[in-house]
């Protein structure tokens, strides 16, 4: 049985005061749910959010990291810098990073391998653009992104990776994939993992849906057979919304 995992992606939002307030509001709600709860914060609030969520079920996540251990990489953050802050999860290859910061399947793969080496759980994002969806290449795109991201990763490590299927046209747009369509793509991704590794690995890997998940559609999405959770952007910034999602 895969335990559902719901992660909030705060993106570039919340300075310390707001971050701590939100984390405090979420704490009790998180303790009521059976699902795994992660909040992926900006680097600058990690230390304070860590203190705020101490003793609760909420796990700390980051939104990006570099693949090198250290060195002359101005403005970057390493895996060790994250684990030192109590970070356990890291989003890798979010479409906004691929789109605005030129991340490629190759850099995503390097980051995945480094994260695993440092005992961070990667939340690997894959998903197609509207154009790709309309030209019926969704499966081809998510297959390529998944296969490349897992390249050189051993089966035991592959089991730890969380995949987030996030159709780009659904992110921050208020448009969601229908739960059935999302489930179909996620089942397809699971099959890609099976072909790459084995049935055993594919049955363990958690695959989330992301893209305009909110309290009003969370239950329907979470009830799909192959969907193991959600990666939530906008709605994770509101305590009431995110609390309802994690207690779907
Ligand atoms: P959204 O973002 O929930 O605001 O659509 C999801 C994401 O980018 O992870």
Give the Cα separation of 127 and 169 in Å (integer).
9
pLDDT tens by residue, 13-64: 999 999 999 999 999 999 999 999 999 999 999 999 999 999 999 999 999 9
pLDDT score for 175? 85
What value does the mean pLDDT take over residues 62-89?
Answer: 98
Given a cut of 90, whether residue 129 has pLDDT beyond it is yes
CATH of the domain at 112: 3.20.20.70
Ligand 1: atom nearest CA of 236 is 3
Question: How far does the centroid of ligand 1 lie from the alpha carbon of residue 238, in Å?
Answer: 13
Q: Which of 29, 94, 96, 128 is catalytic?
A: 94
Q: Which domain holds residue 150?
A: 5-246
Domain count, the chain: 1
Given a cut of 80, whether residue 1 has pLDDT beyond it is no
pLDDT tens by residue, 97-121: 999 999 999 999 999 999 999 999 9
Nearest CA to ligand 1 atom 6: 233
The mean pLDDT value of the chain amounts to 97
pLDDT score for 51? 98
pLDDT tens by residue, 80-100: 999 999 999 999 999 999 999
Ligand 1: atom nearest CA of 91 is 9
**Pocket lining: 185 vs ligand 1, CB cutoff 6 Å:** no
Give the Cα separation of 215 and 244 in Å (integer).
5
Total Cβ atoms within 10 A of residue 45: 23
pLDDT tens by residue, 135-144: 999 999 999 9
Active site residue 166: yes
* Token pair listed for 113: 């391998």
């Amino acid at each position: 049985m895969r335990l559902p995992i719901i992660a909030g992606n705060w993106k570039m939002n919340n300075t310390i005061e707001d971050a701590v307030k939100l984390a405090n509001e979420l704490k009790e709600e998180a303790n009521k749910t059976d699902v795994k709860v992660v909040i992926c914060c900006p680097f600058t609030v990690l230390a304070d959010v860590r203190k705020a969520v101490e003793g609760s079920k909420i796990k700390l996540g980051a939104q990006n990291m570099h693949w090198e251990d250290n060195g002359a990489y101005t403005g970057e953050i390493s895996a060790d810098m994250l684990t030192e802050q109590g970070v356990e999860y890291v989003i890798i290859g979010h479409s906004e990073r691929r789109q605005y910061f030129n991340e490629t399947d190759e850099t995503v793969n390097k980051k995945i391998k480094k994260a695993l080496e440092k005992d961070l759980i990667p939340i690997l994002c894959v998903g197609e653009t509207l154009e790709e969806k309309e030209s019926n290449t969704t499966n081809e795109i998510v297959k390529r992104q998944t296969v490349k991201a897992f390249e050189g990763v051993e089966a035991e490590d592959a089991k730890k990776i969380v995949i987030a299927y996030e159709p780009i046209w659904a992110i921050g747009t208020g448009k969601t994939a229908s739960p059935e369509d999302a489930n179909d793509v996620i089942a397809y991704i699971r099959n890609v993992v099976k072909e790459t590794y084995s049935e055993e690995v594919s049955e363990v890997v958690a695959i989330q849906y992301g893209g305009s998940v909110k309290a009003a559609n969370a239950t329907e999405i979470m009830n799909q057979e192959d969907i193991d959770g959600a990666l939530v952007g906008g709605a994770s910034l509101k305590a009431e919304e995110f609390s309802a999602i994690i207690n779907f």
